Amino acid sequence: MRVNNDGARIDVQIDGDAEPAIVLLAGFPLTRDIWIQNARTLVASHRVIAPDLRGTGASSVPPGPYLMEAMAGDVAAVLDALGIERATIVGHSLGGYVALAFARMYAERVERLALVCSRTAADTPERARWRNELADRAEATGSVGEIVDAVIPTLFAPQTARLHPELERSAREIAGRNGVRGLAALLRGMALRDPADDIAPDLDMPVLVVAGAEDRVVAPAESAAMAALFPNARLEMFEATGHMPMLEEPERLGRVLLEFLADDG
């Protein structure tokens, strides 16, 4: 399925027809393919909606930078096209930033919110500068490898990299399907994003925060502090995981998501 919104064509994978609906948003510099194993777990009891964010995968590459609010609007357009009023929004890393922007703009449409190895804080000036410089270098060389080499090795726990090098190879292959222009526009959009700490206390829907104890991108302590911002949040710490639980511990993440979706308390 393809949905047009604000100059972008968003390509969406839809699996299952059970209600309620769950939206899976991928992190940077990846595509919806990182969710394949979890989608198989969820599809028996949920309608699983996995869009490629603008600039990635099979979606189009409009001019950037891609602000989180623009991508949240893309998610809303997808739900509108499917006739879905409310859904659970699950975001990994960058996808979490988009999910938080969606919650700010469309809180009434969020049944539940899951943030997987993501954060409410904005970039520090140093991190924003790093993103912009990486985008500049990648566009100058015309090679997506500049971004893949800078990002992918940081995403996995050391023991994962040592014992399961095939997972990094898989992430590289997924990221390598993207083009330089789209990834550069995402980098610049992330550097511009606003913090979401201010809205967290007002989001009273059930919130799941998934963190990796070996995450080198979002420190476990930051995840715990973020979970405390929400009035109805639950923290799940994956002790053997880095920044990629959907690849490092997909079975456990699937179970945790199902438990979260079924929890009426």
Q: Is 242's pLDDT higher than 80? A: yes
What digits encode the pLDDT tens for the residues 95-152? 999 999 999 999 999 999 999 999 999 999 999 999 999 999 999 999 999 999 999 9
Token match 């009434």: residue?
108
The pLDDT tens digits for 27-43 are: 999 999 999 999 999 99
Residue range 153-179: mean pLDDT, rounded? 96
List all residues 6 or more positions away from 225 whose beta carbon is below 8 Å from its beta carbon.
none
What values do phi and psi take at 243, rounded to 5? -95, 0
Look at strands 21-25 and 47-51 and give their pairing. parallel
CA 92 – CA 208 distance, rounded (Å): 12
Angle at 185 between CA 180 and CA 187, to 5 degrees: 95
Q: What percent of the chain has pLDDT over 90?
A: 97
- pLDDT above 80 (res 193): yes
Sheet holding 2-5, edge to edge: 2-5, 8-15, 47-51, 21-25, 87-92, 110-116, 207-212, 233-238
Q: Residue 17's pLDDT band (boundaries 50, 70, 90)?
A: confident
- Give the model's pLDDT for residue 66: 98
Output the furthest CA–CA distance in the chain (Å, rounded): 52
Q: Within 13 Å, how many C-alpha atoms sit on residue 74's CB side?
A: 31
Per-residue model confidence (pLDDT) at position 62: 98
pTM above 0.95, yes or no: yes
Which of the 8 DSSP states describes residue 24?
E
Q: What is the DSSP letter of 52?
A: P
**CA 65 vs CA 167, 187, 218: distances in Å:** 29, 8, 23
> Quick check: 265 pLDDT over 70?
no
CA distance 184 to 55: 9
pLDDT of residue 146: 96
pLDDT at 125: 98
Q: Is 136 helix (H, G, I), strand (E, B) or coil?
A: helix
| In the block, residue with structure tokens 């499917």 | 82
Set out the domains of the chain in order of their start, with CATH numbers: 2-262 (3.40.50.1820)
Mean pLDDT of the chain: 97
- Residue 157's pLDDT is 97
**Alpha-carbon distances of 144 from 27, 147, 163, 168, rounded to whole Å:** 16, 6, 26, 16
Beta carbons of 205 and 113 less than 8 angstroms apart: yes
Give me the pLDDT at residue 172, please.
98
For residues 8-21, give the mean pLDDT: 93
Q: CB of 114 within 8 A of CB of 260? A: yes
pLDDT tens string 54-98: 999 999 999 999 999 999 999 999 999 999 999 999 999 999 999
Amino acid sitting at position 2: R
Q: Mean pLDDT throughout 230-255?
A: 97
pLDDT band, very low/low/confident/very high, at 264 (cuts 50, 70, 90): confident
